Chains A and B, each alone.
Chain A
Amino acid sequence: MAEASLAPIVREKGRPIRLTRNLTAKIASIPMVLTALVIFVGCTAWTVVYSFTSTRSIPRLDFVGFDQYRRLWSTNRWLVSIENLAIYGILSAIFSLLIGFVLAALLDQKIRFENTFRTILLYPFALSFIVTGLVWQWILNPDFGLQKVVRDLGWESFVFNPLNNADTVIYGVLIAGLWQGTGLIMCLMLAGLRGIDQDIWNAARVDGIPKWKTYVFVIIPMMRAVFVTTLVLIASGIIKVYDLVVAQTSGGPGIASEVPAKYVYDFMFGRTNLGQGFAASTMMLVSVLVVLIPWAYLEFGSKRRD
């Protein structure tokens, strides 16, 4: 299939026109270009623009300034969802990094059955959030789950019913989320650990540095890039938490475990208050940018400085 892929370079006003060069490649890349422009840029811009309108059930280009946002931030349900996201997000980040790193350090000790352990720790990642939410809903069920098991063992007054208590339900969701996501963090940390030169360990050993100190003062500082990347990943995943809540608690009890992603869906498709949905989703975008832009600047800005 011989093709002339280098189209003639036409000279005009002394400058060659490169439009027809690599034509096939350009045509083949049209889906990517379209996606990037129409979907990622275009649709996002559309939603943001319409968040400044009075749209309810039909999109209307009727600008009302920050009206939707004012309404959004005075809605209790939205505030609850933001608070839940903050709690879930911060705790999720801290614990999954901590647990993930510790597990990775344990697995890095040249143990036997490393593959078995790794398989066990990572399999939850293969499951849908719906599956995870449902199974943990069942485990945390007060009548049949953990609470009953411990009570049956003799501790009659044991209480462990996070999902039915408005104050603690988000922690129940956190448990399920950590169970699913920590395995991946552990894999990333393990890859980072394996990239450390063995001689660093030897040098620390000759220096007489105990292992834990080596981790804290030498290894972890060396893995700063891995931590940052992992944190960015965690952050962008947390913002999107939706399926888990829908399955595990349906946002309840009441609105106690509401999260922004669910808020958006409910208002966009449930109550058909599109304007609110647009405003809420724009807020989600803003929060992602708040994390992303400094990171991108650090990553790529410093690369240019080299």
Chain B
Amino acid sequence: MESVSIRDVSLNFGAVSVLEKLNLDVGQGEFLVLLGPSGCGKSTLLNCIAGLLDVSDGQIFIRDRNVTWEEPKDRGIGMVFQSYALYPQMTVEGNLSFGLKNQGMPRPEIKERIDRAAGILQIENLLQRKPAQLSGGQRQRVAIGRALVRDVDVFLFDEPLSNLDAKLRSELRVEIKRLHQKLTNTMIYVTHDQIEALTLADRIAVMKGGVIQQLDEPHTIYNRPRNLFVAGFIGSPAMSFLDGNVVAKGGGFAFRIGEHEVPLAGYVADGKIKATDGAIFGVRPEHVEIRHGDNDPGNNFYPGTVDLEEPMGADSLVWISFGGQTLSARVDGSKRFRPGDKVYLGFNLPMTSLFDRQTETRM
């Protein structure tokens, strides 16, 4: 039994299509991240799962129950909002107990649930404070607590870390990961930050324009991006893209850029490669090896010129002119390259991606 299933869900606002025939299955206890730029529909999808928005078409199942027409409170979900939305005039304890009291739950049980949640989230000493007296991180934990006491299967997170500064964000990211390891709940998490996605997710659904571009485990998304958008969105520093053609060569294929031909032996294809005039070669900086141009390293290395160097502490990012285009390479911070230096480039082919320029999909 899947925890959450989405079948052919579409959502239109008037003539504008926000979600297009989405299908998604989330396993029990899975941490699924909905990742994408602003306006891609990820928050909208989350709100549909929550029941805060009606879908225009399709169905939503939670634990095999069709909840498409159910109110949020009957779906077995808990939700954490970007602004936390804690009830400002109530204490933390009040915030946690309000929903339960409304259900008519007996006092001892309410207290037991609050104590348990407070223990897990380490907010026991904050119970009598009001939200205004809490720090951003504490408020976030109370917001999670409000979902925890509901004793539900599925937690929904709507960009909970976006309002925090970078340092706090990385601290709380770790806490959320620990929380997921401690609990058995399914978590669906929306963010535009790919670092959060990569570190937290069991699987990532990359979205754009209301469509899921790719649904895979993080390392697959990272190393085998299905299309140009996913390849460019994930990874920091970003992947370099080179325009060129694919030509048949010696029983296999090669990528021709400018006057260089890079044989594609070792490339892991999604389907079949074919010769084509419009192709884009994508390679991440850490998969480009460069050596100084003094001695020719031989085969599989191609000449290029350094444009500029970006020292970043432990590593440096070197921008290189190659075949009339630019790409970046990551080198150890101790190595120095100066603009104008002649260098030789090598590619870690199994880790690269080749895209058809027309369809933008990976070959």
Q: Which residues of A contact B (CB under 8 A)?
A: 197, 199-200, 202-210, 213, 217-218, 221-222, 224
**Would A208 and B73 be within 8 Å (CB), given that A213-B102, A218-B87, A222-B88 are in contact?**
yes
Residues of A within 8 A of B81 (CB): 199, 202-203
Chain A residues, CB < 8 A from B52: 202, 205-206
Q: Give, as a whole number of angstroms, the nearest-CB distance from B324 to chain A.
A: 50
Select one of B78, B86, B88, B103 contacting A206, CB under 8 A.
B78
Chain B residues within an 8 Å CB radius of A224:
89
Give Cα distance in the complex from A237 to B183, angstroms.
59
Q: Which of chain B's residues has its CB closest to A224's CB?
A: B89
**Chain A residue nearest to B84 in the complex (CB):** A199
In the bound complex, how far is the Cα of B81 from the Cα of A209, in angstroms?
17
The reply to whether the CB of B79 lies closer than 8 angstroms to some CB of chain A is: yes
Distance in angstroms from A201 CB to nearest chain B CB is 8
Q: Would A221 and B99 count as touching, CB distance under 8 A?
A: no
Q: Is B50 an interface residue (CB 8 A)?
A: yes
A209 and B102 in contact (CB under 8 A), knowing A199-B85, A200-B87? yes
In the complex, chain B residues whose CB is within 8 Å of the CB of A203 = 79, 81, 85-87, 146
Given A206-B50, A206-B78, A222-B89, 5 further pairs, Cβ under 8 A: A199-B81, A199-B82, A205-B71, A207-B73, A207-B102
Cross-chain contact A199 with B83 (CB below 8 angstroms): yes
Question: Chain B interface residue count: which class?
Answer: 20 to 34
Interface residues of B (CB under 8 A from A): 47, 50, 52, 71-74, 77-79, 81-89, 98-99, 102-103, 146, 150
Main secondary structure of the interface of A (DSSP, over half): helix
Q: How far is the CA of A188 from the CA of B339 in the complex (A)?
A: 64
Q: Which residues of B contact A197 (CB under 8 A)?
A: 83, 85
B229 vs chain A, min Cβ distance (A): 29
Query: Which residue of chain A lies nearest to B82 when distances are taken between CB atoms in the complex?
Result: A199
- Could you give 22 example pairs across A and B, Cβ below 8 Å? A197-B83, A199-B81, A199-B83, A199-B85, A200-B85, A202-B52, A202-B72, A203-B79, A205-B52, A205-B71, A205-B72, A205-B73, A206-B52, A206-B79, A207-B73, A207-B98, A207-B102, A207-B150, A208-B73, A208-B99, A209-B102, A210-B102
Task: Given A202-B52, A203-B79, decide whether A217 and B85 contact each other with a Cβ distance below 8 A.
Answer: no
- If A202-B52, A202-B79 touch, whether A207 touches B99 (CB-CB below 8 Å) is yes
Most B CB contacts (10 A, CB to CB) among A205, A206, A217, A224 go to: A206
| Residues of chain A with a CB closer than 8 A to B50's CB | 202, 206
Q: CA separation between A222 and B130, bound complex, in Å?
A: 13
A208 to B72 Cα, complex, angstroms:
7
Chain A min CB distance to B114 (Å): 14
Residues of A within 8 Å of B73, CB to CB, are 205-208
A200 / chain B contacts, CB cutoff of 8 Å: 85, 87
CB neighbours (8 Å) of B84 from chain A are: 199
Q: Which B residues lie within 8 Å of A207 (CB)?
A: 73, 98-99, 102, 146, 150
- How near does chain A come to B153, taking the closest CB pair, in angstroms? 14
Which are the 6 A-B pairs with shortest beta-carbon distances?
A208-B73, A207-B99, A199-B85, A221-B89, A203-B85, A199-B81
> Please, how many angstroms separate the alpha-carbon atoms of A205 and B84 in the complex?
14
Smallest CB separation, B77 vs chain A (Å): 7
